[in-house]
Structure 1
Amino acid sequence: MVTAESGSSAGNATAIQIAPDQEHMQLQSSDHPGMVMVSALLTGNNYFAWSRAVRRALTVKMKLDFIDGSAVRPTGNGEDFKRWNRTDSMLTTWILNCMSKELAEAFMHVGSSRELWLELQAWFGESNNPMIYQLQREIGQVTQGNMSITEYYTKLRKLWDELMCLAPTLKCTCSGCTCGASKDMAEMHSSNQLIQFLVGLNGVYDQARGQILLLEPLPSVTKAIPCYLEWKNRCK
């Protein structure tokens, strides 16, 4: 049970008992209409990474129920409806704040946070294939160039994470994965990322790249990077 205070002053404050199943409808004193929950605004082509960031932020706020449909709109015009409507209006504003100005204006007409979320999903998330194609193409074209190894890895990591949102790695369906398929698929995924990382490295790392490729099993990218940094320091 959560206790909230209401009233114009501490002396007039009265305790309001909020049941655990109603906590998602409670707004905190720090919540305000100008809040921006994510750093990167929705522009359209970043929908999947954006939606994951928004969902994570709403989970922290215990408000995910509103956009996934679990927080059902109360019937009538009683106190439950007023509390739900106030919280839902705040969420709708937060989501609009996380969109570019042009997109926010286009979706200003929506009646609830759930409706807004579904409309955005219909507009930008209906088919993953074009985005998967674009991300795979970008990953294949990334090269180190003038970037440091850390900067190069960070750029690839961002693209890999976006791709993971669209096309998650397959998982074994057997209980506890006693067949070892999950481990094999994880290792294959890690090896593919390492190969992609090695392909884009500058030619100065050819010797170190060759040594890494001779290892069995192949290390993960995060384990290979220190080897390259150490090799670079030795060559100075």
Structure 2
Amino acid sequence: MTQDVIPTSASSSDPKIDPLSPFSLANQEGPGQTITHIKLRSDNYEEWRRSMRMSLKSRRKFGFCDGTIAKPTDKFLLDQWEVVHCTVVQWIMHSVDSSIRDSISYSEDASVLWKELEERFSVIDGSKIQSLKAQLNDCKQTKGMTVTTYYGNLKALWEAIAAHEPLLACKCGHCTCGIAKEALARQEMERLHKFFMGLDASLYSTIRSNQLALDPLPSLNRAYQVVLQEERLKARGCSYG
């Protein structure tokens, strides 16, 4: 008996699918369901991909798209696999805007369809990357802008750039040097310094200096919380900076 099937009784010949199995579908998870409100157009692939991937992962179904959930050999599980697989294909097609849907060659294989959409719409445009980095360089907290809005602007640009330039990571599976962890730490520090550099100096120069003097430096999330607290204190007419 596989881990994806639970028997109804010790002698039952009518097995049931484990609700936590990727081969399981909830009652409301039909092929006509909309699992993301972001429609794929010709200019928003990265945003669509992130939303779809998160929605599928939350349902334990992304493996049908990346090919990691292979066809089972067990007849009962194979039937369930095909049901869920067809449902995932329908979810993908329902998330494609009607303006480009007819130009997509319909495939009943979710991994083939996912790959086709990636190849067609995931275009690494050098000018786009340069534009995003220029926007990041110019991103600052202007007069009257809240810390939350400023940080939100930064975060959106960081995510857009990361979609085109993902962090370096070991691909051999045998690396012990920790390059992925080191790359993540370096990215965290770069983002921390950018966050501090773009703050309104007339309001946060002191708190910025105090935070940068710490050893070790605070995490980006911690720095954001500290500055946010300072903003709230200033709004009440007091400050500890």
TM-score (norm. length: structure 1):
0.71
* Aligned partner (choices 149, 152, 165) of residue 151 of structure 1: 149
RMSD: 3.7
Decide whether the 8 Å contact of 1:48 with 1:165 is kept in 2. Answer: yes
Query: Aligned pair in 2 of structure 1 residues 94, 83: CA closer, same or farther (>3 Å)?
Result: same
Percentage of matched positions with identical amino acids? 24
Distance in 2 between residues matched to 1:227 and 1:62, nearest whole Å: 37
Counterparts of 1:1-236 in structure 2, within 5 Å, are: 1-2=5-6, 16-18=14-16, 23-71=21-69, 83-107=80-104, 109-125=106-122, 127=124, 132-145=129-142, 146-171=144-169, 174-175=175-176, 177=178, 185-208=183-206, 209-232=208-231, 233-234=233-234, 236=237
Residue 158 of structure 2 aligns to a residue in which SS? helix
Query: Post-superposition shift, 1:216?
Result: 4.2
User: Which residue is equivalent to 1:8?
Assistant: none
Decide whether the 8 Å contact of 2:148 with 2:228 is kept in 1. Answer: no
Residue 88 of structure 2 aligns to a residue in which SS? helix
Q: Unpaired runs of 5+ in structure 2?
A: none
Query: Post-superposition shift, 1:188?
Result: 2.7
Counterpart amino acid of residue 27 in structure 1: L
Deviations along 1:67-96, one digit per CA (max 9) or x if unpaired, are 123455689xx9877655443332122112
Deviations along 1:171-230, one digit per CA (max 9) or x if unpaired, are 5774374xxx66654443222102221232224235233444444443233222233234
Counterpart amino acid of residue 100 in structure 1: D
Counterpart amino acid of residue 149 in structure 2: E
Distance in 1 between residues matched to 2:212 and 2:77, nearest whole Å: 62
TM-score (norm. length: structure 2):
0.70
Distance in 1 between residues matched to 2:181 and 2:23, nearest whole Å: 41
Q: Which one has a larger percent helix, Structure 1 or Structure 2?
A: 1
Equivalent residue pairs, number: 220
Distance in 2 between residues matched to 1:184 and 1:83, nearest whole Å: 42
Query: Post-superposition shift, 1:123?
Result: 0.9
Residue 118 of structure 1 aligns to a residue in which SS? helix
